[in-house]
Amino acid sequence: MALLEVHNVTMKFGSLVANDDVSFGVEKGSVVGLIGPNGAGKTTLFNCISGFYRPTSGKLLFKGQDVTNLPAYEMARLGAVRTFQVVHPLKEMTVLDNVLVGAFLRGADTDKAHEIARDCIALCHLEDMSGRMAGGLPIGYKKRLEMARALATGPELLMLDEAMAGLTSTEIKAAVEIIKGLQKRGITLLVVEHIMEAIMSVADKIVVLDGGIKIAEGPPQEVVNDERVITAYLGAKFSQRLKAAQGGDPRE
Amino acid sequence: MKNRKRSVDFLWLGLLAFLALLPLIPGLLRSSFTQHVAIQILLYASMAQAWNILGGYCGQVSFGHSVFFGIGAYGAGMAVVKYGMIPWPGAFIGAVLAAAVAVVISYPCFKLKGHYFAIATFAIVEIFNRLFMVWYWVGGALGLDYSFTDQGWTHFVWYESKRGYYFGVLLLFLLVFGVVRWIERNRLGFYLRAVREGQETAESLGVNSAKVKLMAMALSAFLAALCGAFFAQYNYRVDPPMVMSLDMSMKFVLITILGGLGTFYGPLLGAALLIPLQEYSRAFLGGIGGGVDLIIFGLLIIIVVVYQPRGIMGIIDGIRVKAKRSKEGGE
Amino acid sequence: MGTFFQVALDGLFNGLLYAVVAAGLSLIWGVMDVINFAHGEFLMIAMYLSYWLGFIWKIDPLLSSLAGGLFVFLVGALTYKLIISHTIGKSAMSALLATFGLSMLLKNVCLNRFSPNFRLLQGTFLGGKTYNFGGLIVPVPQLAIGLVALLLLTLLYALVKRTRLGWAIQATAMDKEAAELMGINTEKIYLLVFGLGGACVGIAGGLLPSYLAVHPEVGGLFSLIAFVCVAMGGFGSIPGALLASLLIGLVEAFAGFYIAPVFKYVAVFGLYLVVVMVRPRGLFGW
């Protein structure tokens, strides 16, 4: 049994079908990447899983429990916590206070919460910023704050929505290191990412969405060579050229 | 971080000690008028702080708090006037009722956004005001007038000196500010501010924002009602326009805004500025016609909202930051 | 049956008066997302202006209403310049709170200068006249205000929907930044909208002293009822505000007559609560 099971999830907004019959599983302890071109329905699927939307049809199981209709805060309490693609800092609160909000999920004890918060702040390299107002942080720090805050809730499944979009390559490297650290701590990760390279190095499995439909699922190396994935990302013409080039490569 | 917290606590305890010893200092608070001003400051500070839980910390600006204030006032008034009892159980029942009413009305109202919510709270004040005007069981438009009873803490009434009321309101102040001090340091305080800053984010972190808002509302209404009960005891009477009116509602809001929304000392500072202004201008500027206090108040509100939305606390913070910078620059 | 129609007629007249107050408010709300709490006090100012012009120089309210419109247009524009423009971009409540401060200021300046006495203008052209339509008594001042209200609403609606200026106003309401990129001076639009909103209540307020007494508290209830009309009508919709105002006027009149006078406002505000619970964006909102 996987930690998170997505069964035939469909999400419609009126006549627009954002997710069509998507199914996949996230194994405990793994890092799963959810990728796809813009408008593929990644964030919508993410919102369904994290309880911000109720799927039109289909079923979601978390730890074997049916969580299809649970609100977001119940999902978080069960241990499935998300971050936002567009950062949502609690602006008029300090970085420490932001992370404390997450830390209080596992108990009302203030000292304990402070301990957890300091730990998560350190893990995301935010120590120097802990007294600053979250609204005034540079974007890279805001992204890490999102992560630290979610981490403080003590999640079993952490869902990162484009945590690396808009970051510089050094910042991406730092983010990848953090993700690896989280995996070592036994946290399962579901990562939505538009940038494929970043996710390739850390993911155990990749799920690819295009036009709301799952078009591929498998280990990263398999997925990048999947013709439909290449077509989705680069267009049909380029995919053929690429194949021709690969076929003619003497080193293959 | 730890150090800062301790020094703030010191300030709070020092303030309490000062307020408790105030009547014992000879010369100060000698005249009954000065005592009246001091009592009013502490009462309005407590009211504003009760409102601040919901409006300041949780960010849900309600213009309906005079309803809860009024229910508390009527609780005490009914106990004393209708049933000839001591006011304490009435005040308590009034506060519980106010919290219940608050939850019942806010549950649907919290679904409304922005101005729609604000107007709904105005509408509720008007409805309660009119209904209490014609509700003869609670005295209708005439209200409830206290008759003479024994003085002292049991009846919470004093006739000769206001000193009893001073200590009474100090207890109320201690309760309301103490509750907020506690909330600020604990989980609920963080959750309140998280809901204010971003409901969606708070929910993603496991905060049940609807429940948090209702808790803030109930607590805020409960404490506002206790203030109302004190108000009735202090004035020896209750009637609808006195306690349940838009003007009374706005006092909760405006004092807090003036002092600093969502800050611990804001409500006290706001009341400490406004109440003396009101009482002294009424007493000494009465000669140039009525309403002078409210003219100044109106001007103050405009100036604060336009130029210093963080109120007096914002000004103090500004000065502190400047002082710190110049100190660091000097070293 | 005769009473029924009489009550309905009185209700409609009141509703039309509310509609003028609400129309200006609705325009301001729709374009700037601001609640002007001092809107009722704008009405009061115009009433005092008209009263004193009539009392001192014997100018009839019919003429004073123009002066009222002009004067309150200026008051509105000044309010925007000095107060509202500084609250744009701050929290949604700041304009409401600042205009509440303004309403306190205006109300108490009038209280201080003119005392809390009720003042009614005697011997005006319209005052006290009535028509009798087969038993139905039509008071002339109310009728005049009703007609002026319809005229003003039509003009306002035509201005917003049919003129270039109106398109600029609509564009500003939809997206301020985009409107600026298209070369619209949104600052000027805001100023004008606030002035126009003021002018509407100014004209109505100028007519009022022929049948409604002026006193410092007269505006408060108008503000509240106009808020309800605007919110029920759906923000920014002038026809919506008109329909909601007529409905409110009728409900007020019937509840006042058939239940008890104190219940008229219970009914009005109760109706608001019921409507927004069912349709959180008002009757005609989206």
pLDDT digits (tens, 9 = 90+) for C100-158: 999 999 999 998 888 888 888 887 777 778 888 777 888 888 888 889 999 999 998 88
Domain boundaries, given as residue ranges, for chain B: 32-244
Give residue B4's pLDDT.
43
Q: What domains lie within chain C, and their CATH numbers?
A: 2-278 (1.10.3470)
Locate the DSSP E strands across C123-231. 130-133, 136-139
Mean pLDDT of chain B: 88
**B and C touching (3 or more beta-carbon pairs closer than 8 Å):** yes
Does a structural domain hold residue A232? no
Cβ contact, residue pair C105, B295, below 8 Å: yes
* Within a domain: A132: yes
Q: Are C27 and C239 in contact (CB under 8 A)?
A: no
pLDDT reading at C72 higher than 70: yes
Nearest to B166 by CA among B275, B38, B21, B72: B38
Residues of B in contact with A90 (CB under 8 A): 193-194, 197-198, 201-202
Closest CA to A1 of A158, A188, A155, A153: A188
Contacts of B210 in chain A (CB under 8 A): none
Q: Does the pLDDT value for residue B272 go beyond 50?
A: yes
Contact residues, chain B, for A108 at CB < 8 Å: 186-187
| Cα atoms in the 13 Å half-sphere on the side-chain side of C129 | 12
Let me know if residue A77 belongs to a domain: no
Average pLDDT over residues A164-184: 81
Q: Give the pLDDT band (50/70/90) at residue B235.
A: very high
Q: Do B295 and C86 touch (CB under 8 A)?
A: no
pLDDT at B6 over 50: no
Decide if pLDDT at C236 tops 80. no
Residue A150 lies inside a defined structural domain of this protein? yes
What whole-number percentage of chain B has pLDDT above 90? 51
B8 band by pLDDT with thresholds 50, 70 and 90: low
* Cβ–Cβ gap A76/B191 under 8 Å: no
Q: If you measure CA to CA, which chain A residue comes closest to B196?
A: A90
| pLDDT, mean over chain A | 85
Structure tokens at C25: 């408010």
Say what the pLDDT of residue B26 is. Answer: 67
Inter-chain residue contact A77 with B191, CB threshold 8 Å: no
Find the range with the poorest average confidence among B26-35, B263-272, C72-81, C210-219. Answer: B26-35
Chains in touch with A (≥3 Cβ pairs < 8 A): B
Q: Is B273 helix (H, G, I), strand (E, B) or coil?
A: helix
Q: Are C92 and B114 in contact (CB under 8 A)?
A: yes
- Closest-CA residue of chain B to A51: B204
Kindly state whether residue A7 falls inside one of the protein's structural domains. no
Tell whether B323 is within 8 A of chain C (Cβ): no
Contact predicate B93/B71, CB 8 Å: no
**Does any CB of chain C come closer than 8 Å to the CB of residue B107?**
no
Give C266-277 pLDDT, tens digit per residue.
Answer: 998 998 888 888
Give residue B147's pLDDT band: very low, low, confident or very high (50, 70, 90). confident
Contacts of B204 in chain A (CB under 8 A): 50, 52, 72-73, 76, 81-84, 88, 150
Outline where DSSP puts E strands in chain A. Answer: 4-13, 16-26, 31-35, 57-62, 65-66, 80-82, 157-161, 188-193, 205-210, 213-218
Select the residue from C105, C263, C265, C277 to test the B interface by mutation, using most B Cβ atoms within 10 A: C105
Rounded to 5 degrees, what angle do the CA atoms A201, A204, A208 make?
Answer: 90
Q: Is residue A227 part of a domain?
A: no
Q: Which other chains touch chain B, taking contact as 3+ CB pairs less than 8 Å apart?
A: A, C
Give me the number of domains chain A comprises: 1
Mean pLDDT on B161-185: 92
Which of A50, A78, A93, A101 is the best mutation test for B, with the most CBs of B within 10 A? A101
- Domain annotation covers residue A122: yes
Element (H, E) at A47: helix A42-49
Q: Which residue from A minimizes the CA distance to B263? A: A92
- 3-class state of residue A9 by DSSP: strand
User: Exposed, middle or buried, B25 (CB in 10 Å: 0-12/13-18/19+)?
Assistant: exposed
Q: How many contacts, defined by CB atoms under 8 Å, are there between A and B?
A: 81
Distance from the A110 Cα atom to the nearest Cα atom in chain B, whole angstroms: 6
List chain C residues with CB under 8 Å of B115.
29, 33, 35, 92, 96, 231, 235
pLDDT on residue B233: 93
**Structural domain of residue A150, as residue ranges?**
88-154
At residue A58, the 3 state secondary structure works out as strand
| DSSP label at residue B54 | I
